[in-house]
Amino acid sequence: MRRRPLTARGWGCLLSGILLVVAANVISARPLLYLGVLLAALPLVSLLIVRLPRRRGTVSRQIETDLLAVGETSRVNVRFELVGLGTPNGFWRDTLPPAVRGDAEGDYPGDSWVLRYDLEGVRRGISTLGPLTLHTIDPFGLAQREQEFGETRAITVIPQTVALAPLPTRVGAAGGTARTRSSRIGQGADNLIPRPYASGDSRRRIHWRATAHRGDLMVRQEEEEASPDAMVVLDRAASRWERQGEESDAAFEAAVSLCASAALRLAQDGYSVDVVDSAGFALGELRGHEDDREDFLVALATVSPRGEPRDLRTLVGPNPPGPLVLITGRLDESDAEHLSTAGAAAPLLFAASAGPGALSAATAHGWHAASLTASDDLSEVWEDALPVAKAAHG
């Protein structure tokens, strides 16, 4: 909102001066005329004091966490270097998008060039912080000025993740206990056996201790572990979810959060995880690298309901995974009866809006199913669908 050049006090002073000048002429009172001219001129002088100085400023922002999760708080440090005549009196305010909230304002000048405030993620998405606004007021509080400084800074709010329980057993595609094999390769994951640097090796794989010891560039000779496969499918077909308006669909947000949490849980358990939507679009893959995790969460920051679903067997392909997690919205009994597990060894189904008999029909076709609502504790919902939980209740 653009502020007026004069404050309420300034406008009152100006109007009072004009009225006194008019009254002085009517009753021929010279002292009132002098007073009226003084009151009318004072806001104008104050306006010149605020408006005339030419100011330039540079703004740089540093956020303690590169990715801010929904419900997470982070500290923002804003370095604001103002160049101009004198030190203005007023306050600063950083412009915040709807995706975050915080008390991003304070008095200026402060004790430091660094302005600090806490930021909380409230909605998934990629948005911008800034620009920084400096609100200047003259010493009499009659005139004011707002100036914007610096560039904006992108901020990514990723879905909230929760810790989930591991599967009862580590299963492979055939349903038995999964095993891993290892083979020596040039670039792998964890083993730190050094070998001479070869053309094409990533410099990030350099083994610096061995390099310093031998005098030649050495890289890590590592082991590749063939992990069992898992798949997470987020059914974001538009027909499954409420139409989105200005407010986000709470059920869909819970589904995205569960999708992120389930994929990270399976990756932590040693699975190679592929995450796709119901149309077959890849949302991420987790192979044990930190970059995979960040890329996946950034991809989930912007997903929304769209498109139409494809048959699950088409998404899975000819090689069924061990665990298969399907997260969907509306699900009626007819849909559940035609919902194939695609040969997965451990199929888990979560429906945000299951119709009467839908979960029972899915269970009859081999799924371990549970209902998901926005108010549910995701860790409890996850445990409700685990095979061991079903067996305990059965």
State pTM to two decimals. 0.78
Q: Which two tokens stand for residue 73?
A: 């708080």
- Say if CB 198 and CB 232 are below 8 A apart: no
Name 240's Cβ contacts closer than 8 Å, sequence gap at least 6: 278, 305, 309, 328, 329, 330, 331, 353
Place of tokens 């995450």: 275
Q: How far apart are CA 362 and CA 337, in angstroms?
A: 6
pLDDT one digit per residue (tens) for the chain, 394 residues: 567 899 999 999 999 999 999 999 999 899 999 999 999 999 999 999 898 888 888 999 999 988 999 999 999 999 998 887 777 888 999 999 999 999 999 988 765 688 999 999 999 999 999 999 999 999 889 999 999 998 899 999 999 999 999 998 877 655 554 544 433 333 344 445 677 877 666 555 667 667 666 767 777 665 444 568 999 999 999 999 987 666 778 999 999 999 999 999 999 999 999 999 999 999 999 988 878 899 999 999 999 999 888 899 999 988 889 999 999 999 999 999 999 999 999 999 999 999 999 999 999 999 999 999 888 899 999 999 997 644 444 3
